[in-house]
Amino acid sequence: MAENLVSSWSDGKTLPESYVFPPEKRPGENIVPTSKSVPVIDLGNVNRGETIQKIIEASQEFGFFQVINHGVPRKVFDDTRGAFKEFFALPMEDKANLYSLDVSRKCILYTSNVDYDKEEIHNWRDSLRLVCSPLEECIQSWPEKPQGCREVVGDYVMKVREVGSRILELICEGLGLEPGYFAGELSQLQIMSVHHYPPCPDPSLTLGTRKHCDTGLITILLQGDIPGLQVLKDGQWIGVEAIPDALVINVGYQLQIVSNGKLRSVEHRVVTNKDVARFTAALFIEPTRDCIVEPAKALVSAESPPLYKGARFADFLQTFRAAYVGKIKDVMEPYMLRT
């Protein structure tokens, strides 16, 4: 029900019990400041080899990096975030018909998580999920309001997935895989989650997004100007700096599998804040549902045996969803090979 949306009921003063995370999962009173340690990589660097090396190192060490000079004009970011802000500010009657937990739809508005009904504690966020491929087909299902939203977001998706393809090519070369290894069904699907994190009465007790790794190959996040994303590094949370011109890139589970563990998908979460609403857009680059994802043959040898079983991506997603709501402990466990 659309009445579940945080933005529809929150008075900004009280945090319901169903948003209070257990003590070991809460951010606590001292929310870690942002740090410059997650690498910022200049995609305009003419030294391709150097760029590749930085991307591979960051993907091994942090599972995360930011890119600047990626070629997407700042105006595209600002217009896109503007459209999303306007969308979430629309009166409820303009949004309520999009409310759904059915991920087979090309456009849904939901709150916390698509398994809202199965989870014990909710994330402090409302989200819009847009399927983005094939773009021309999906765009017809996206919100009609605010005016021009489809065009602006469509343009954003085209430009940002281009950045994604470039990054995947660089990763491909860095791993020593044949050119175009990721270009087919491994990266054919693109899905965007637009998150609205309303101001929160008590950021110490709750999370905007609980700890997780992303499911696909890579995620390209527009964090905007308000920080909130935290990455787990050596058991400590570090806050990712908000650089309005940058895109945050992270390794998803499927890239960890394909790279046979060379690149790491790293746990991250989102903290809320008391004062301002935060809007982010995550573009997930994913395999097709029927794609069997397995370690690349070129990365497997007698010295480096496969760490993971091949799995159909759709089945992996089921496991992920069960783990997200706490039904199973570890997403990767069923896919690990004992060596």
- Site residues for ligand OGA per CB under 6 A: 193, 195, 209, 214, 221, 223, 228-229, 268, 270, 280, 282
With CB cut-offs between 5 and 8 Å by kind, which of ligand OGA, Ni ion, none does residue 228 bind?
ligand OGA
Closer residue to ligand OGA in complex, CB, 164/174: 164
Q: Which is nearer to ligand OGA, 280 or 319 (CB)?
A: 280
Q: Which residues contact 321 (CB under 8 A, 6 or more apart)?
A: 114, 115
Residue among 128 and 139 whose Cβ is closer to Ni ion: 128
Answer yes or no: are the C-beta atoms of 214 and 250 closer than 8 Å: yes
Minimum Å gap between C-beta 85 and ligand OGA is 14
- Residue 51 or 230: the one with the smaller Cβ distance to ligand OGA is 230
| Identity of the residue, 173 or 214, whose beta carbon is nearer to ligand OGA in the bound complex | 214
- Per the listing, tokens 């990266």 go with 187
Q: Which does 263 bind (CB under 5 to 8 A by kind): Ni ion, ligand OGA, none?
A: none
- In whole angstroms, the minimum distance from the beta carbon of 229 to ligand OGA comes to 4
Residues at the interface with Ni ion (CB under 5 A): 214
* Identity of the residue, 126 or 173, whose beta carbon is nearer to ligand OGA in the bound complex: 126
Give the one entry of ligand OGA, Ni ion, none that residue 223 binds, where binding means its C-beta sits below a cut-off of 5 to 8 angstroms depending on kind.
Answer: ligand OGA
* 95 binds, options Ni ion, ligand OGA, none, Cβ within 5 to 8 A by partner type: none
**Least CB distance to Ni ion at residue 193 (A):** 8
The least distance separating ligand OGA from the CB of residue 219, rounded to whole angstroms, comes to 6
Q: Least separation, in Å, of the C-beta of 183 and ligand OGA?
A: 23
Residue 193 binds what, of ligand OGA, Ni ion, none (CB under 5 to 8 Å, by partner type)?
ligand OGA
Which CB sits closer to Ni ion, 181 or 284?
284
Q: Which of 281, 259, 121 has the alpha carbon at shortest distance from 191? A: 281
Q: Give how far Cα 82 sits from Cα of 170, 247, 294, Å.
A: 31, 17, 39
In the complex, the smallest distance separating the C-beta of residue 191 from Ni ion, rounded to whole angstroms, is 12
Which residue's Cβ has the minimum distance to Ni ion?
Answer: 214
State in angstroms the smallest separation of the CB of 215 from ligand OGA: 9
Least separation, in Å, of the C-beta of 67 and ligand OGA? Answer: 16
State both tokens at 151: 């065009």
Q: From the list ligand OGA, Ni ion, none, which binds 63 (C-beta under 5 to 8 Å, kind-based)?
A: none
The binder of 280, among Ni ion, ligand OGA, none, by C-beta within 5 to 8 A per type, is ligand OGA
Question: Measured between alpha carbons, how far is 246 from 40 in angstroms, rounded to an integer?
Answer: 8
Please say which residue, 171 or 282, places its beta carbon nearer to ligand OGA.
282
Amino acid 115 reads D
Entry field: residues in the chain: 339
